[in-house]
Amino acid sequence: MKLPWLILFSLCIGAAPRASANCSELAGTGDGWVKEDAVGAAQEGLAQAIYEFGAKHKDAKLRSSAQQVKPLPYWRDKVTDDLLLKPDIVTPKSHTVCWKGVVSHVVCTSGSKVCW
């Protein structure tokens, strides 16, 4: 009678799912006089953040995907809906949200989820 329970227990252990990957949310913020420049600056900031993150995790294979993040303003406490400049810019690896700036005309934050 003990043998069938042992086999059942072994099958349950073998069928257990693997642990999910570790992930971090990274972001970069940039500004410009026009939206295109601010998007580019934010995406460059995000690329730099991913590069620095990768340098700390040299042995890991990193995968990144678009992740919507909250705006990271320079001069405001928060960004209200009436300040947002739609549409958001979404690529396979980043999600960029932009808003009317205080000093610069446009400020954007790009976000990505990086897993290893």
pTM of the model: 0.80
Query: What six digits make up the tokens of 73?
Result: 């303003």
Q: How far apart are CA 111 and CA 29, in angstroms?
A: 9
Find residue 54's DSSP bridge partners: none
Query: What six digits make up the tokens of 37?
Result: 């420049």
The pLDDT tens digits for 53-100 are 999 988 889 999 999 999 999 999 999 999 999 999 999 999 999 999
End-to-end CA distance of the chain: 44
